[in-house]
Amino acid sequence: MQFSLVVLPGDGIGPEVIAEGIKALQAVGKRFGHDFNLNYGLVGGVAIDEMGVALSQDTLKMCQGSDAVLLGAVGGPKWDDPKVKVRPEDGLLALRKKLRLFANLRPVKVFPVLVDGTNLKPEVIKGVDFIFVRELTGGLYFARPRRQWQTPRGRRATDTMTYSEQEIERIVRVGFELARGRRKKLVSVDKANVLESSRLWRQVAMEVGEEYPDVELEHMFVDACSMRLIQNPAYFDVVVTGNMFGDILSDEASMLAGSMGMLPSASLAGVPREGASIFGLYEPIHGSAPRRAGLNMANPVAIILSVAMMLRYSFGLAKEAQRVESAIDEVLREGYRTYDIMSQGKTKVGTKEMGDLITKKVAGS
Ligand code: NAD
């Protein structure tokens, strides 16, 4: 089969890890007989340096005409001056908005061989394997009014938390569909004891739930969820929530895996149903790690897992995605580690070596 893909390496370690992701993808193409047509573009700091904008119209058009986008990371000290008008992150926000990427998926899976490598006790971490679904284009971060103003008694500021039933329905549906293909347990997170928007969220979740009698739906308050994520993270299968709650909780959840270098993400423009191919943007959850850039140190597992997500959701290639995930598992089992997940008695490798080892397993050689 043929697929077209836009590759946006970005800044810092972005280009280094992207190179390993593409290597693994090409190995999939060779082994399973697929043709991936790659078009490279600029985003973030490199785009600002080259064109004065964090995302050009041409790059955006290229993304709109493709089946999926693979992104490295953006940002770095060079573009950090708070007085500048254009920031590398503007490129990411523009992509999410213009490509209508409303569903952010972050799988949190602790590889069995890495249970000793996190800040939590191994018995708590063992078996952790869930997906976090965050609404990405609505809620408190986007709704209006939002402003700051002067009053006779000092300054005031306001933000607005608004959700329409359509926005809630489509994101909750993403949660149900994912749960249906997994352990059939969906936790919907809200603050319905306080917030009106959360009460609507809960009602709509229950209404959509009637279409999914095979999936168990549980409602959880956001504060309770933040505790449960640390106390018993293996409890979760699929978690769905709004933009701000998701922003905070998904970062908390990412700590369970031990390193930012291990976690992928997908931002989708539709509901992932069995057999459907959905446009999406795939990227590791980590940033550009400027201090590690150019040193062949960064862990490429997060981007390679992002490639696996792309194969599954945008290309409909579940078997190929599984091969990539198994390849990573096998390499970790053999004891190879990048610096961030290194432990005693294991073999330390760099970005390229880790990418090569995984690619070899993908290729079956
Ligand atoms: P970061 O994710 O870049 O780094 C956090 C820590 O994790 C650092 O110690 C880093 O060395 C380590 N790390 C990150 N990725 C790693 C990998 N693949 N392998 C091994 N170690 C890894 O976050 P930060 O330091 O807060 O931000 C650095 C820059 O990245 C900033 O400019 C920030 O704005 C930007 N950023 C971009 C994104 C994105 O592109 N989506 C996300 C977060 C931060």
Q: What is the CATH number of the domain that holds 130?
A: 3.40.718.10
In a domain, 125, yes or no: yes
Domain assignment of residue 269, yes or no: no
pTM metric for this prediction = 0.95
pLDDT in tens, the chain (365 residues): 899 999 999 999 999 999 999 999 999 999 999 999 999 999 999 999 999 999 999 999 999 999 999 999 999 999 998 888 899 999 998 999 999 999 999 999 998 888 887 888 999 999 999 999 999 999 999 999 999 999 999 999 999 999 999 999 999 999 999 999 999 999 999 999 999 999 999 999 999 999 999 999 999 999 999 999 999 999 999 999 999 999 999 989 988 988 889 999 999 999 999 888 999 999 999 999 999 999 999 999 999 999 999 999 999 999 999 999 999 999 999 999 999 999 899 999 999 999 999 999 999 97
| 145 inside domain | yes
Is residue 85 located within the same domain as residue 5?
yes
Do 229 and 337 lie in one domain? The reply is no
pLDDT of residue 86: 94
Evaluate whether residue 111 is within a structural domain.
no
Residues 133 and 241 in one domain: yes
Is 92 in the same domain as 177? no
- Given the residues 80, 121, 223, 319, select the one marked as catalytic: 223
Helix, strand and coil in the chain, % to nearest 5:
45, 20, 35
Ligand 1 atom having least distance to the Cα of 44: 40
Do 129 and 82 have their domain in common?
Answer: no
Spatial distance between the Cα atoms of 166 and 133, rounded to a whole number of angstroms: 16
Exposed, middle or buried: residue 219 (CB in 10 Å: 0-12, 13-18, 19+)? Answer: middle
Strands (E), the chain: 2-10, 35-40, 68-73, 103-109, 129-135, 147-151, 154-158, 185-190, 216-221, 238-241, 264-268, 280-284, 336-337, 347-348
Shared domain check, 235 and 174:
yes
The verdict on 297 and 219 lying in the same domain is no
Ligand 1 centroid distance, CA of 355 (Å): 19
Of ligand 1's atoms, which has the minimum distance to the CA of residue 77? 32
Mutation probe of ligand 1 site: the residue of 46, 80, 288, 354 with most atoms within 8 A of C-beta:
288
Closest ligand 1 atom, CA of 298? 19
Query: How many angstroms separate the alpha carbon of residue 356 from the centre of ligand 1?
Result: 23
Whether residue 213 is contained in a domain is answered as yes
- Same domain membership, residue 240 and residue 315: no
Residue nearest to atom 5 of ligand 1 (CA): 289
Q: What's the CA-to-centroid distance between 260 and ligand 1, angstroms?
A: 8
CA-based nearest residue to 49, from 86, 8, 19, 100: 86
Q: Which residue lies with its CA nearest to atom 34 of ligand 1?
A: 75
Count of domains in the chain? 2
Report CA(317)–ligand 1 centroid distance (Å): 29
**Cβ-contact 226, 249 below 8 angstroms:** yes
- Verify whether residue 58 is a known catalytic residue: no
Q: Of 257, 272, 301, which residue is a domain's last?
A: 257
Same domain, 225 and 177: yes
The pocket around ligand 1, CB under 6 angstroms, is made up of: 13, 17, 73-76, 92, 260-261, 283, 286-292, 298-299, 302, 340
Please give the number of the atom of ligand 1 that sits closest to the Cα of 290: 28
| 80 CA closest ligand 1 atom index | 32
Picking from 232, 257, 282, the residue at the C-terminal end of a domain is 257
In a shared domain, residues 126 and 227: yes
Looking at residue 334, what is its pLDDT? 97
Residue 262 lies in a domain: no
What domain range is 204 assigned to? 118-257
Residue 276 lies in a domain: no
Do 332 and 250 share a structural domain?
A: no
Among 260, 263, 291, 354, which is best to mutate for testing ligand 1, by the most ligand atoms less than 8 A from CB?
Answer: 260
Q: What single string gives the DSSP state of each residue in 10-33?
A: ESTTHHHHHHHHHHHHHHHHHHHT
Catalytic site includes residue 251: yes
The domain boundary, picked from 210, 231, 257, lies at 257
Q: Are 201 and 243 in contact (CB under 8 A)?
A: no
160 and 242 in a single domain? The answer is yes
Has 247 been annotated as catalytic? yes
In a domain, 280, yes or no: no
